[in-house]
Amino acid sequence: MLGHNYIGGTRSAAGSIVLHSHDASTGEALPFSFVQATVDEVDAAALAAATAYPTFRNLPATHRAEFLEAIAAQLDALDDEFVALVCRETALPAARIQGERARTSGQMRLFAQVLRRGDFYAARIDRAMPERQPMPRVDLRQYRIGVGPVAVFGASNFPLAFSTAGGDTAAALAAGCPVVFKAHSGHMATAERVADAIIRAAEQTDMPKGVFNMIYGAGVGEALVRHPAIQAVGFTGSLKGGRALCDMAAARPQPIPVFAEMSSINPVLLLPEALRVRGEKIAAELLASVVQGCGQFCTNPGLVIAVRSPESAAFIARLNQLMAEQPAQTMLNSGTLASYEKGVRALLEHPGVTRLAGQEQHGKQAQPQLFKADVSLLLEDDPLLQEEVFGPTTIVVEVADKVELRQALDSLHGQLTATLIGEARDLHTHADLLVLLEQKVGRVLFNGYPTGVEVCDAMVHGGPYPATSDARGTSVGSLAIERFLRPVCYQNCPDDLLPDALKNGNPLGIARLVDGSSHHQPI
């Protein structure tokens, strides 16, 4: 464990600021030191990525796929000692880390499949046909290329799946974009082990030096985002942190996009018939979602809305009882715990909010909490109910009727998810809510709970601001590659100069839109 920065295929430790990793449960410093990158090292890392970019983006997609598959194999080979290390840095259980490792390698393999099938090119060909209006009078051909070097910031709550070799890194590499990764201070030792795995895979598959770089330090993010070589940013974290990166990127002489996943309270709507038929079951299922992983998920259900009735009162009473029985849990790090305590304190001090269940915060563990808030806080757009409390807490709101339910939903800001819990009759009666919810969120769930994000082609893990900085994308699933691609059009280009994806003979054998029709054949 060197603790040195990864720059252009070499290790560098020119700085004087030394950082330490800590045991999340005890706060004890682990026997590893990490050297914060200097401004010059940040510059060198960005330039190394820029130097690698022309070679990397022009590699055959199948070669990049081999690189991603090699990373996946290296991740799968990380042993029990590695799992134990991640557990110490995050206080997450071994089973969770093993599952997350499988998800992380699975993401790499998913993007390898995307590269092999070729649909990411989105190839379009309109041949010159003056006699066929409105067809163009010139030959036009379009496909997509990687935007350039991408800065990726590690997430605290997913040390593998949203960090060093996580979804943003996988999507950027798949798009042909070298990465400069900023390691999260909460799990720097984990980041080093994973970075080593990526470098081994890069060497095995003969990738250009600088295809992956990693820097340590709390003060290096601004220099990285402002660097002219960086062409996009991927971030998962707080609203404050994500918004700061967006503002930095927009203020550059050449503004660049920031794809930030930031803040979401993920409302769960409990419809009347469902509460009547299975209220106790819903209470148990919802509780499990709220406290899972100490509530440290982007999709944790932080707001529960129900139409006031005897059934809703019984549901709240049961949820109250279950929450009161929940033990305290250790959070990812002291900073996350301090943020949680601040959020809980703000709720306790608000006159429109009542605590139903939960112990006073003390010691180094998070106490699960259940609150009830007056619906007026939503209708009046009180910022407190719109702010995520990152941890094992949720807030229940009762509305008077269907009209007030719609008013409450209208007041919500952008979210990652919204969930409808209802029987068939409920869903039919409230079908109009779907049109409203799809304007508010990136994923609408029916009779499920949001703390499970499948990695696949159809998944959307995004949503309107402040859930993300750009609702047009996703940070989970194969669609994530589109954030790091841009279209290029060729007009009257000779066939031998065209990229393979656009040549008449279609040497890649990919699906293309040719003169308005999709097919795999040569033209």
Residues carrying an active site annotation: 261, 298
Structure tokens at 319: 């949820």
**Helix (H), strand (E) at residue 420:** strand 415-421
What does the alpha-carbon distance between residue 479 and residue 144 come to, in Å, rounded to a whole number? 14
**From start to end of 23-101, where are the E strands?**
29-35
H runs (alpha helix) in 78-213: 80-90, 94-117, 167-174, 188-204
- Using the 8-state DSSP alphabet, how is residue 161 labeled? T
Q: Rounded to 10 degrees, what is the CA torsion of 327, 330, 331, 336?
A: 100
* Residue in the structure block whose two tokens are 């949680």: 340
Contact in structure between 202 and 211 (CB atoms under 8 Å): yes
Half-sphere exposure of 237 (CA within 13 A, CB side): 25
Within 10 A of 187 (CB to CB), how many other CB atoms are there? 30
Closest CA to 343 of 299, 394, 293: 394
Q: Listing from the earlier edge strand, what are the strands of the sheet with 353-357?
A: 353-357, 369-373, 393-399, 303-307, 267-270, 415-421, 441-446
Contact in structure between 29 and 60 (CB atoms under 8 Å): no
What does the alpha-carbon distance between residue 373 and residue 385 come to, in Å, rounded to a whole number? 8
- Amino acid symbol at 417: T
Structure tokens at 434: 């779907």
